[in-house]
């Protein structure tokens, strides 16, 4: 269960609005159901009290919104950041993508976010309400007389099961208790892929990526994808396409994107969360993170504002290309 309450967040937001510290609040807005929360900008106490939510479905990472919203608004923006969001926040600051002075960041602890599709696998479609009840969710459906109790840890999103950190790496103010960096198992699945033969691995990705519908949701939600104009939207790039013309292009889009965010991806997992086709896109990025860790020493993008990623920071100790090539053989 979440350790800070909705009321605490609302009171903080209302107070900061009232004393003029911030002009507006970036928060989660109540949806049609209990799980379809929408990112929103709140400008009045009334709006906040009516529609602001904080529950187990507030997965959206607001850091990227700051790029546009800090340009749009004159005063400061209050943003609530979960631990993993703070890594994206720092990474965007490192890349000078928004003005830090225009943001008031409040760190909030996160107990992990639930994945509604996992809940639906257990409870079926037809959910009419979901209420938090300690370590459980009480799910009422139109088909069952009694609410179904689901243990939250059973339905956590993949990225939360493999949470890398409960520690906030950036904030102006922290609500609740600070957590620690976690020794997670997030690279286990990557290791499984590495253990495959190249043919098996190719078949794995072929199968996954063939479902891609090129909706661009992964790119558009990605806090590392903040180019003003993406190469895939540029008609003069020669690779601009709305839809893959063949299976090569299908893979190319995701592989190019993974290369482009390598060393900058904080592993926030938004890409996999939003993919309508459930493609485990985070595995591509994690492979890069794992490689960078192994080649150049542990590096977590966003952990420290202003840090230089090993891939853009030459040192004489750097691995020789030949060693990378040799390693490929031992892996295969």
Closest CB to other proteins among residues 41, 161: 41
Q: Which distant-in-sequence residues (6+ apart) come within 8 Å of 90 by Cβ?
A: 169, 170, 302, 303, 304, 305
Q: Which residues pair with 53 in a beta bridge?
A: 28
- E strand or H helix that includes residue 241: none
Query: In Å, what is the CA distance from 218 to each residue of 187, 249, 280, 290?
Result: 20, 16, 11, 20
Selected range binding other proteins among 8-16, 82-90, 154-162, 233-241, rule: CB under 8 A: 233-241
Q: Report d(CA 297, CA 163) in Å as an integer.
A: 20
Selected range binding other proteins among 10-18, 208-216, 286-294, 322-330, rule: CB under 8 A: 208-216
Task: Give the residue, chosen from 66, 127, 148, 262, that forms a contact with other proteins under the rule CB under 8 A.
Answer: 127
Task: Give least dist CB 142 to other proteins, A.
Answer: 5
67 binds other proteins (CB under 8 A): no
121 binds other proteins (CB under 8 A): yes
237 binds other proteins (CB under 8 A): no
Residues 91-110 that bind other proteins (CB under 8 A): none
Task: Give least dist CB 247 to other proteins, A.
Answer: 11
CA 178, 180, 112, 60 torsion-angle sign: positive
Task: Give least dist CB 64 to other proteins, A.
Answer: 9
Number of residues that bind other proteins (CB under 8 A): 45
Report residue 107 as tokens: 């760190």
Selected range binding other proteins among 123-131, 175-183, 254-262, 317-325, rule: CB under 8 A: 123-131
CB of 26 within 8 A of CB of 77? yes
DSSP symbols for 152-178? GGGSB-HHHHT--B-S-SS-SEE-S--
The binding site for other proteins (CB under 8 A) comprises 31-33, 36-41, 60, 65, 121, 124-128, 141-143, 207-208, 211, 213-217, 219-221, 233, 235-236, 241-245, 273-274, 276-279
């Amino acid at each position: 269960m979440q350790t800070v309450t909705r009321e605490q967040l609302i009171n903080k937001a209302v107070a900061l609005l009232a004393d003029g510290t911030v002009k507006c609040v970036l928060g989660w807005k109540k949806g049609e159901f209990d799980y379809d929360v929408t990112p929103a900008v709140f400008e009045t106490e009334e709006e906040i009290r009516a529609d602001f939510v904080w529950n187990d479905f507030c997965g959206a990472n607001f850091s990227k919104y700051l790029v546009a919203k800090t340009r749009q608004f004159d005063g400061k923006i209050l943003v609530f950041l979960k631990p993993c969001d703070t890594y994206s926040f720092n990474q965007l600051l490192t890349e000078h993508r928004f003005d830090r002075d225009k943001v008031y960041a409040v760190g909030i602890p996160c107990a992990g976010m639930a994945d509604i599709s996992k809940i639906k696998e257990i409870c079926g479609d037809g959910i009419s309400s979901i209420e938090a009840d300690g370590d459980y969710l009480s799910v009422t459906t139109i088909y069952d007389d009694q609410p179904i109790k689901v243990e939250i840890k059973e339905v956590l999103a993949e990225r939360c099961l493999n949470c890398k950190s409960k520690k906030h790496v950036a904030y102006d103010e922290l609500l609740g208790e600070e957590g620690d960096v976690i020794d997670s198992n997030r690279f286990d699945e990557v290791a499984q892929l590495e253990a495959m033969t190249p043919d098996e691995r190719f078949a794995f990705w072929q199968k996954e990526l063939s479902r891609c519908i090129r909706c661009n949701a992964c790119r558009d939600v990605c806090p590392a994808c903040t180019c003003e104009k993406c190469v895939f939207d540029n008609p003069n790039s020669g690779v601009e396409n709305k839809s893959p013309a063949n299976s090569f292009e299908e893979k190319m889009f995701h592989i190019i994107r993974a290369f482009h965010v390598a060393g900058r991806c904080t592993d926030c997992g938004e890409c996999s969360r939003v993919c309508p086709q459930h493609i485990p896109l985070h595995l591509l990025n994690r492979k890069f993170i794992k490689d960078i860790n192994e080649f150049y020493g542990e590096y977590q993008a966003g952990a420290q504002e202003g840090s230089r990623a090993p891939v853009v920071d030459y040192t004489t100790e750097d691995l020789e290309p030949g060693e990378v090539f040799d390693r490929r053989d031992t892996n295969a």
